[in-house]
Structures are given as C-alpha cells and as structure tokens.
Amino acid sequence: MGNLLAWLVTIAAVTYAGITALLYVGQRQFLYLPTPPNNFVNEEPVSWQSAGETIGIWRIGSGRNALIYFGGNAEDVAWNIPEFRQYFPAYTLYLVNYRGYGGSSGKPTESGLITDALNIFDKVSETHDSISVMGRSLGSLVAVLLAAERNVSKLIAVTPFDSVLNMARDIYPIFPVSLLLKDRFDAVKEINRIQAPVLVLVAEQDGIIPRERTDAFINAFSPEQVSVRVITNATHNDIQNSSEYADALIAFLGDSDE
C-alpha cells in the first residue's frame, strides 16, 4: 500500500508540474488570439511605427475630436467601423490592431501593447485637442493603463475586468499564477491616476467575465467619476448588437465640440 501511495503521489506531482510548465510556456497563446488581416473592409489602414514595430490602424472620419479604440483579445476591430461611423460622426476614429493582429508586426505582450497605445496617443494628439479612449474586454485594461499616463477626455470600458492576474487566479485556482504570469494588466492599481469621466458597459449575461471581476473594476473608481450601464440580455460577445449599447455610447460621447 505504501508503494502504491508513493507512486500515486509521484504521478500527481509530475502531472501538476507538467501542467504548470504548460501554463507558463503557453500563457500568451492562451491570452492573445491574433486576427488575420481584414481584406473585406472598404477602408485603407494607416501604418504607424512604434518601438520598432509597424502598427496597422483603421483611421475613419475627419472630426476634430478623436476616439482611440482597443479591442478584445480575439476581436477584429475593423468590424466596428460601420457602427462607430454612425455613432460618432463628430470624431476621427482610430481602431488599433495590436501587435500581431490584423497585419501589424510583432508579437503581443503587455509592455508592447501599452507602449504602442502611448505612442499612438501621442501621435494622435498632434492633430487633435480632445482624445477619448475606448476598450473592450482586454482592451479596457489597455485603455485604462493609457488613461493613467495621458490626459484623455473620456474613457469607455466595455465588459471590463480588474486584471488578467485575478482572472487567471479564478480560472486556475490550484496553480501559482502570481508567480507564473508574465502579462498581468493590473489596471485597478492605476485607476486612481485617471481624472476623466468614465462609462462602463456591462453585459447582463456575460458568461466569460464574472460579475465580481467587473464590479472590482467599477469600484476602483470614485462613484462620482463612473457611470455604469448594464445592457439587458446581452452576452460578452454580442453586447454590441443591443440598441442600449448604442444609446449609451452616443449619450456619453455625443457630438462633443470640446
């Protein structure tokens, strides 16, 4: 019996170590799901240089105000173009293809995405006085970390969560993710540096982001700073199809002439 128990413990330990190693080595493949170049949109992306990488950006419109958009971890941001063009006629839109996404060069990492976001903001600021930022899911963390470093006019977070670290802890509770994780996106630690008004859009039936994680994100802001809209019957992946989603975005950004 003693030999059997020792053998079972050894097997369990080897299995645990193997899964831990797999999580460490493959973590960025789990976190980032790059999209291919979009050849079906009747627009020409612009290419900007950032820290040695070429970042493709869909630039739409010619309004004096700017809106920079950061998508989810598997999102082709180009599919937002028709709706955003309709919602935000007073804005020039900048929809960002992350490193490795949509034809952009490089591989996505937290430091790379944040570096690119800051460089894109600085370039946009050369021709616009007012810049708002919007992010969805993982992109909401990129938007927050940008807004903590730059003077954004308004911030929109769609289906956000407090950090990749806390999400990983929820998904892999028996593994030492705090020691393994390379890209933490711990946005809530930087929220107190943001001065802009904030809109948070929550999918009522979000089956991917636990409400606890979204509430932690919301509660990191001062109550007078943040407006929260729960989009009824919406899920994580179809929130954009709701008229409530459109109404909330239009009301928050509107036709500002800032």
Residue 258 pLDDT level (bands cut at 50, 70, 90): very low
Residue % of the chain over a pLDDT of 90: 77
Q: Is 78 among the domain residues? A: yes
Comparing CA positions, the residue from 62, 137, 65, 155 lying closest to residue 98 is: 137
Strand 198-203, strand 155-158: pairing: parallel
The number of domains in the chain is 1
- Give which of 140, 112, 139 is closest to 55, Cα–Cα: 112
CA 158 to chain centre: 8
pLDDT > 90? residue 173: no
Considering the domain boundaries, does residue 6 fall inside one?
no
Q: Letter for the amino acid at 191?
A: I
In a domain, 258, yes or no: no
Can you tell me the mean pLDDT for 155-176?
92
Weakest mean pLDDT among 24-28, 36-40, 111-115, 174-178: 24-28
Other residues' Cβ atoms within 10 Å of the Cβ of residue 223: 9
Q: Domain with 88 in it: what CATH number?
A: 3.40.50.1820
pLDDT band per the 50, 70, 90 thresholds, residue 45 = confident
- Beta-carbon contacts of 257 under 8 Å, excluding residues fewer than 6 positions away, are 64, 65, 90
Task: Give the pLDDT confidence score for residue 1 in this predicted structure.
Answer: 62
**For residue 184, is it within any domain?**
yes
Domain that holds residue 151: 32-253
In a domain, 211, yes or no: yes
Structure tokens at 113: 């995405």
pTM of the model: 0.93
236 in a structural domain: yes
Average pLDDT, the chain: 92
Query: Confidence class of residue 152 from pLDDT cuts 50, 70 and 90?
Result: very high
Say if 49 falls within a structural domain: yes
Residue 25 included in any domain: no
Per-residue pLDDT at 71 exceeds 60: yes
Give the separation between CA 207 and CA 35, rounded to whole angstroms.
Answer: 22
